[in-house]
Amino acid sequence: MEISRRGVLVGAAVGGGLLAMWSFQPRTFSTPLTPGRDEYAFDAWLKIGTDGVVTVAVPQLEMGQGITTLLPQIIAMELGADWRQVAVEPAPVSGAYGNIPLAARWSALWMPSAPGLADEPDDFLARRFAQNHRFNAVADGTSLAAYEMPCRNAAAAARAMLAMAAADIWDIGWEECEAAGGFITHGSKRLNFARLVEEAVSFSPPDPPPLRPEAPVEEPIAGAADAPTAFPRLDMPSKVDGTYLFAGDVRLPGMVFASIRHGPVDQAQLSAFNKNAAAGINGLVGVVAGKRWLAAIATTWWVAERAVGAMNPRFDVAQPVRSEQIEKALDTALRTGTAQRLDTRGEGDRLMGKPGIALRYDIAPAIHASLETATATAHFADGKLELWIASQTPEAAREAAAKAIGISASDVILYPMPAGGSFDSRLEHGHAIEVALIAREIGRPVQLMWSRGQELLAGRPRMPAAALVTGRLRSGGNGELETMRVRIAAPPSAHEFGQRLFHNKTSWAAIRNSAGKADPLALEGAMPAYAIPNVAVDHVPVSLPLPTGRMRGNGHGITAFITESFIDEMAWRQGREPLSYRMEMLGSDIKLAQCLQRASRIAGWDGGKDQSGQGLACHRMGEGEYAGRIACIATARRDGGGARVSKLSVAVDIGRIINLDIARQQIEGGLVFGMAMALGASMHYLDGVPTLKRLSQLGLPLLADCPEIEVDFISSDSQPFDPGELGAIIAAPAIANALYSATGQRIRRLPLYPEGL
């Protein structure tokens, strides 16, 4: 039984209250920042040194999305700092940095019996969960929603305290002072932050902090997609010269290296291995056997890899995964399974009658293929574990590692490292558990790095799915849809992920506990943005032997492809031009219509006729004030056994843009990622083992395959929307529709060409 917020409030009024009084006590946190020599901490977010350097704490994993620039930029703009004197450091795990919007979005995962009590960012239980569980997770593009205002408040308070210090020297009211470029000024008088900081920390900041009237923003210029930013990325110089340290760059005195072999998917148990076969390998330090894996530890990773391979570990598997099983289960569920209704508009499918059209779409499991594979370093000594890891959920990784070796989480010191890509794969923390166990047995610092083959084997792919979309046209109309039903057979992947992350379940227990549950999070975006009067969205939950996880774009990566492929095919079948057909149905979303118009203009849209190879797609992510929109026109053609994409033109509305350069990078990178999802990056399983082992086998775009990309931003004063996933979900349907224009062949599966480029 689900408990609603209203039900609890009514029950509280009648029964005298359902929540314990302790939960209403205000939470305070000591400042988690440790000032260095000649540094002074202001709130949990920033320190200022007597050299004038402003150091900003960032509680989010930097995995290429630029968060270690965005949050410092917000503070610099609000504080009035000189960007050349802004530094950044990773924040320790602390309740002061709880990601409350994400806790609210995922309330069904951590509180499945009563998600309605905490599904809004201002809900008390969402706030309390995020604080108590140190939930500074990175996912779903919630970083700005969670942290922009705390950063602005901290910077505004510090600015006021610096102004108070200057005003005290000048004997004026602090409100008369201005802050810019690292100085506090009053008329011709000015003092830099370095001079004022020591006195400033003795003042009490005003409550509420005096925010600037304008929120941080960089206005896009129409037609000037490459306009430069005033705030270049802080991490760019070190990434260019190679000094930026990722998880795999950690080096400790006396450190050794571990390579690992996992059993086939799923429920494999290590049954035998030949330890003697590795005994003569020079540099081997030790062997650690887990219940479901085997690791060799050596003075170099390559020696460890050679040793673990020589031992030829063998596994017993209860139910090894085969792709044919997955496809059969999805097909059966789509045809005969019991559906649960996720969403309805108008009359739903009550007026469907005999559908005028019914089209099927199939989506294969997709893999992350981040540049840096799962990597962690650990040192266990004197009952304490030190852990260096790149994690999107650092507190969950910390707790899992502690539980694995039987110590308290308070005895685990986690050093947050940046990731060389993630695409949501670092929400999982199996490698944290493994490295903790290995470190305990070896007794010296050890670094575990999964090989590419092990990453493909032990990672959690995006869920596969099969969908049937049916539609009925308006009688006497011009090809407009009156009723649309979307039926998707797929595992309840978000529920499974929640069981692993929040309830510490094994992959098979998570599948068992999620069986039969409808999963709105796993199928986000299935309700189309088009003003179709009657729409029904159904989920047929399927229990597969394949554990699945989250991926960049998540449900939108599936539902955008299904919807935009279907709408495009409807347009062509009715003899309608695809752009105008969409525009007629977007009266309720003017912003998305504007994106379509802008994209068509910059691409020189020709209607996709005469085998021009142009195809379009558009999509909206999110609702209300936090929503992002994108329209894409792709130009593509057949090339050998696959496809060649020559151009991608997009128009984007992501609300108020804080950093134009980072927004452009994220859209461009997402489009290339989406190309990979469209043309390769899928997984086939034989007896529980992926048939592909190497990055080169995945059909990923090479530099020579990358198309010309043009991105135009639409100016907006809406709340900022994270751009990182929009390009990733729109590329596949746009390319599929372009290939139909070029070849007349309609492809209703992902990847479009399993053999890749």
How far is Cα 694 from Cα 685, in angstroms, rounded to an integer?
A: 14
Closest Cα partner for 614 from 737, 752, 706?
737
How far is Cα 436 from Cα 260, in angstroms, rounded to an integer?
A: 13
What pLDDT does 313 receive?
98
How far is Cα 395 from Cα 342, in angstroms, rounded to an integer?
A: 32
3-class DSSP assignment, residue 753: coil
Strand partners for 48 = 40, 54
What pLDDT does 753 receive?
78
How far is Cα 71 from Cα 88, in angstroms, rounded to an integer?
A: 9
Q: Per the omega criterion (within 30 degrees of 0), is the bond before 751 cis?
A: yes
Strand partners for 623 = 626
Mean pLDDT (10-residue bins), the chain, 757 residues: 40 34 50 91 96 97 97 98 97 95 97 89 94 96 97 98 98 97 97 97 96 94 70 94 96 98 96 96 97 98 98 94 97 98 97 92 96 97 98 98 98 97 96 98 98 96 98 89 97 98 96 97 97 97 97 97 98 96 93 97 92 96 92 94 92 96 96 95 94 91 94 94 97 98 96 66
DSSP 310: H
Instruction: Using the structure block, give the residue that is written with the tokens 């530099």.
Output: 703
What pLDDT does 754 receive?
59
3-class DSSP assignment, residue 534: strand
Amino acid identity of residue 29, one-letter, is: F
Strand partners for 161 = none
Residues whose CB is less than 8 angstroms from the CB of residue 68 and which lie 6 or more positions away in sequence, other chains included: 58, 62, 88, 234, 235, 418
Closest Cα partner for 272 from 232, 314, 311?
314
What pLDDT does 623 receive?
86
Question: Domains of the chain (ranges plus CATH)?
Answer: 5-200 (3.30.365.10), 249-262+268-317+374-449 (3.30.365.10), 323-366+461-750 (3.30.365.10)
289 and 270 Cβ atoms separated by less than 8 Å: yes
Cα 322 from chain centre: 28
Read off the tokens for 711. 């991105």
How far is Cα 226 from Cα 304, in angstroms, rounded to an integer?
A: 47
Residues whose CB is less than 8 angstroms from the CB of residue 240 and which lie 6 or more positions away in sequence, other chains included: none
Strand partners for 260 = 295
φ, ψ dihedrals at 225, nearest 5°: -65, -25
DSSP 231: S
3-class DSSP assignment, residue 483: strand
Closest Cα partner for 694 from 749, 756, 642, 643?
756
Strand partners for 649 = 633, 710
How far is Cα 128 from Cα 134, in angstroms, rounded to an integer?
A: 10
| Neighbour-count burial of 745, counting CB atoms closer than 10 A to its CB (0-12 exposed, 13-18 middle, 19+ buried) | exposed
How far is Cα 303 from Cα 284, in angstroms, rounded to an integer?
A: 7
Nearest-Å Rg of the Cα atoms of the chain is: 27
Q: Per the omega criterion (within 30 degrees of 0), is the bond before 589 cis?
A: no
Q: Locate all alpha helices (DSSP H) within 515-607, ordered by sequence.
A: 555-573, 578-584, 590-603
Read off the tokens for 596. 């379509």
DSSP secondary structure letters along 684-731: -EETTEES--SGGGS-PPPGGGPPEEEEEEPP--SPP---TTHHHHHH
